[in-house]
Structure 1
Amino acid sequence: MDQVLTRRSTRLNLGAAVAFVLGGSLFALGAALAQLDVVSLPVVNVTYLVGGCFFTLGGYVSILLADDDTAPHTDERRRRWRLRQRRRSWLSAFVLFVGTLFFAVSLVAAFAAGLTPRQSDGWIWLPDMTGCVCFLASGHLAMLDVGEGHVRILPHLIGWWVVAVNQLGSVLFFLAGIAAFIRPATSSAVNTGLVNWGTFAGAVCFAVGGFIQAFDTPTTTRTVVQP
């Protein structure tokens, strides 16, 4: 890989990693504040919104990083495999970015006052769940990418840990999203505790995944973790 391209990819990778660490940390903080009920709801919503901005930034930078993954290969079979892998990597980043945009709709809508249960489910819950599904799909594509076309357990690869931890976070976000559905009969969420703690745990996963990603440079994507 060209040195200029390598340096650019390294910077993009670090930028995405920092964005996910900040986004995950702020989401975790917002969930903790909501559960402990120590600040007003607008403060919680602002914390989530700023965290969501960092998630969106991380998703966008991930697309740029996938575009940079253009290492040349003289062998035709290797070149074709690399192109397929690149498509998975780019699609995973793109779907993740789309998911963050759905989250953004949900986070902005949360500031609206006086919503009926139907309106809350339509403007907050539905975009949130769509974002969760996008995150799960993105994680699955990333698992296929790092597993060279298969979902594998590869604890010796740094990149696998990034993907695996983030996918766990996506599952937790999805569970929290389901529990956030507002029941018309009670005008309350299915399980507020699961919403907050599921979001908290999922956000921590993304923060940890971002931290690990900072060490997963373009030259170490397939590097084994040192024992």
Structure 2
Amino acid sequence: MPATRHPTKLPSRTSWWIAALFAAGSACFLVAPIPAFARLVGPGVDGLVFFVGSLLFTTAAGLQWLETINSGREPGHRLRLLTFEPRRIGWWSSGVQLLGTLFFNATTFRALRVGLESPDYDRLVWRPDALGSICFLISGYLAYVQVTGHPLGRPRRTLESAIATVNLLGCLAFGASAVASYVVPSVGDERSTAVVNSCTALGALCFLIGALLLFPERARKPRPE
């Protein structure tokens, strides 16, 4: 779930890679829930696409975390890997987002080997998926507040606000997918599967749009010296 960029001491291409990796990960989560794609490649490959997408999300979120905690520092300082800045909303947003991607790593990896009919499915797959969705929702809301400047602020007519808004919509769709997969977990029920897949694809589409918008958003800002 890409957020807006801030000048940092990291290489100038870092922001490009963040956008590209989020876009690639979103594309994986967009195509993998499509039934036609799953039938074409088979359940094993389809699950692998989900897993690869989660790894791309984690890599992008890790770079975004580094960019966030190193923003505003003077040139020549050593790159920081960890900080404790609880008063910075960006610190919370990027940190919670990174945590959420790790939950999705666990979910998509375990889903490769644990079927819906398994009694351990909820513990090994659904719970990490729900926790990841919660983290994304918190992170997306914090990023939205950071941009609008108010907990219930309206979206502004800026590219930065558009990115935060579409990302928050994606987080809501991912959350709806997690809820649907638990509330209507009837195995073989095409309607429940359609709801889960549709919400996942919709959320991924929102993230993809947000990631693609990062390219012109970053191009408008001057590069750090």
TM-score norm. by structure 2 comes to 0.80
**Correspondence for 2:113:** 112
Q: Equivalent residues in 2 for 1:38-187 (5 A)?
A: 38-70=40-72, 87-113=88-114, 116-181=117-182, 186-187=186-187
For structure 2, list consecutive stretches of 5 or more residues without a partner in the other structure. 1-6, 75-84
Shift of 1:12: 2.2
Distance 1:132 1:147, change over 3 A: same
CA RMSD in angstroms comes to 2.8
Contact 1:35 1:196 in 2 (8 A): no
Distance 1:104 1:34, change over 3 A: farther
- The structure 1 segments of at least 4 consecutive aligned residues displaced by more than 6 Å after TM superposition are none
> As a proportion of its length, which structure holds more helix?
1
Amino acid at match of 2:206: C
**Correspondence for 1:78:** none
Amino acid at match of 2:162: W
Aligned residue pairs, count: 205
- 1:210 matched to 2:211? The reply is yes
Cα distance in 2 for partners of 1:51, 1:119 equals 23
Shift of 1:103: 0.6
Q: Which piece of structure 1 moves more, 212-221 or 120-129?
A: 212-221
Cα distance in 2 for partners of 1:10, 1:204 equals 26
Shift of 1:45: 0.4
Shift of 1:187: 4.3
For structure 1, list consecutive stretches of 5 or more residues without a partner in the other structure. 73-83, 222-227
**Correspondence for 2:19:** 17
Cα distance in 1 for partners of 2:37, 2:183 equals 17
Same amino acid, percent of matched pairs: 27
**Correspondence for 1:8:** 10
- 1:195 matched to 2:196? The reply is yes
Does the residue aligned with 2:67 lie in a helix, a strand or coil? Answer: helix
